[in-house]
Amino acid sequence: MKPQTSDPTREAAFALLSAVFDRHAPLDTALDSLRAIPARDRAAAHRIAAAVLRRTGSLDAVLDAYLTKAPPIPVRHALRIGTAQLLLLGAPAHAAVSTAVGLAHARGLGKFAGLVNAVLRRVATEGKAALDALDAPRLDTPQWLWASWGADGRAIATAHQNEAPLDLSLKPGAKPPEGAVLLPTGSARLPAGTDVTTLAGFADGDFWVQDAAAALPARLLGDVAGQRVLDLCAAPGGKTAQLAAAGAIVTALDRDPARLERLRGNLARLDLTAETIAADALEWRPEPKFDAILLDAPCSATGTIRRHPEILHLRRKHDIAACAAIQDRLLDAAASMLTPGGRLVYAVCSLQNDEGAERIDAACARLGLRRDPLEPGEVPGLTEAITASGDLATHPGLWPDRGGMDGFFAARLIRS
């Protein structure tokens, strides 16, 4: 067979998949290492790789029907890329097949080029019907995650099938960009794939990117105008910006200097101010203590799978217990920085109960904290996200007709 040409986009998509599957790297880190290729190719490669990562189980089920034995892993990556383009991304059949064959040649897999060609031609003609017949949400979700989400599992996994929209938090008084839909909670929503930097008002600092659910925890501190607020684990600063825009005198702390630098850059673009501190929250102690603290703790991030589909492949069950142990230590530290009667909002972008309500039950028993339950009016249009204990628990299956939202857990606590 005559060698066919690959292209930079497919090559970059292959590199991203290798980084995630073979070297267990997060997609953002893998994307950073593609800086040498033009931004447009990088964005297209990201879209292909994300589609493969989001739908790996169902793409493999389609492919396996045409394979008599398991191909080497790099060949499977090329087949997944071709299949995602054919069945999910609407690429013309001849282009999707020939670029995948070209990719096989370019990666030194020439002896499998005939196989790639033959399998993808069948996918092009029969694959759509085969894909539609599968229980894709189930196939695309690892069993341990599916089981951990209980009754919400199918709604969550169904929402994971699609890309997330672009959500913006607006500065007070700023108008939503043209074409945006205003959500009941105040976020502005634009279609998936919108490039925020091209929107009118971006350079002027009218808004910042923040999922609709991520915009809720900071609001649970109530009216913070004129108050000192400590934002522990602050970078890259979505919630710091919210608190500063609401008139709080914010101290933003994070232990990662590079992420803190991004926070400063974000605040500068938005013309907002906060004191920034690079320190470990487990060791740093403020004087005087704070009446209001936001602890947006590091977590498994299973609530952000729509935006970071590699989490489906990289996270393991035992990671959750490790996150929970850190969250307990951060809650201990945060409680020690709080004045008596002060309020603490704990948040994680996780769907796992072990990182949410269980941490709060344990913190209340251990630290002289009590829950201050949310009122329905605090999260307009989302009363179903308030739990029986008065915590907030969103998941991607909520607001299905509006495009869903990230999974976030948040609880408000008072120091007795």
Ligand X SMILES: C[S@@+](CC[C@H](N)C(=O)[O-])C[C@H]1O[C@@H](n2cnc3c(N)ncnc32)[C@H](O)[C@@H]1O
Q: How far, in Å, CA of 355 to CA of 265, rounded?
A: 30
Shortest Cβ 150–ligand X spacing (Å): 24
Q: How far, in Å, CA of 370 to CA of 220, rounded?
A: 15
- At 51 the three-state DSSP class reads helix
Q: Is 373 in the site for ligand X (CB under 6 A)?
A: no
Q: Is 147 annotated as a binding residue?
A: no
Q: How far, in Å, CA of 209 to CA of 167, rounded?
A: 6
Which of these ranges, 49-57, 234-242, 364-372, 407-415, lies near ligand X under the rule CB under 6 A? 234-242
Neighbours of 337 (CB within 10 A): 22
Q: Is 234 in the site for ligand X (CB under 6 A)?
A: yes
Considering only residues 288 through 307, tell me which ones interact with ligand X, judged by CB under 6 A: 296, 298
Catalytic residue among 299, 323, 349, 364: 349
Token pair, residue 299, equals 């977590």
Q: Is 256 in the site for ligand X (CB under 6 A)?
A: yes
Query: Can 299 be counted among the known catalytic residues?
Result: no
Q: Is 165 in the site for ligand X (CB under 6 A)?
A: no
Among the listed residues 383, 273, 409, the one whose alpha carbon sits nearest the alpha carbon of residue 331: 409
Token pair, residue 153, equals 């599992």
Q: Is 368 annotated as a binding residue?
A: no
Shortest Cβ 279–ligand X spacing (Å): 7
Compare residues 86 and 235 and give the one whose CB is closer to ligand X.
235
- DSSP string across 73-93: HHHHHHHHHHHHHHHTS---H
Neighbours of 360 (CB within 10 A): 21
Q: How far, in Å, CA of 140 to CA of 351, rounded?
A: 17
DSSP bridge partners of 252: 231, 276
Which listed residue (181, 282, 321, 325) binds ligand X by CB under 6 A?
282
- Strands 392-393 and 338-348, how do they pair? unpaired
Shortest Cβ 255–ligand X spacing (Å): 4
Which listed residue (237, 396, 397, 403) binds ligand X by CB under 6 A?
237
Interaction pattern, residues 193-232, with ligand X; x per rule: CB under 6 A: ----------------------------------------
Compare residues 259 and 371 and give the one whose CB is closer to ligand X.
259
Q: Is 233 annotated as a binding residue?
A: yes
Shortest Cβ 237–ligand X spacing (Å): 5
Which listed residue (121, 259, 264, 269) binds ligand X by CB under 6 A?
259
Distances (CA, A) of 169 to 89, 188, 202, 248: 29, 7, 11, 17
Q: Is 254 annotated as a binding residue?
A: yes
Q: Is 184 annotated as a binding residue?
A: no
Shortest Cβ 75–ligand X spacing (Å): 37
Q: Is 254 in the site for ligand X (CB under 6 A)?
A: yes
- At 380 the three-state DSSP class reads coil
Q: How many CA atoms lie within 13 A of 40 on its CB side?
A: 1
Question: Which amino acids are annotated catalytic?
Answer: 349
Q: Which residues are annotated as a binding site for S-adenosyl-L-methionine?
A: 233-239, 254, 280, 296
Q: Which residues bind ligand X (CB under 6 A)?
A: 233-239, 253-256, 259, 280-282, 296, 298
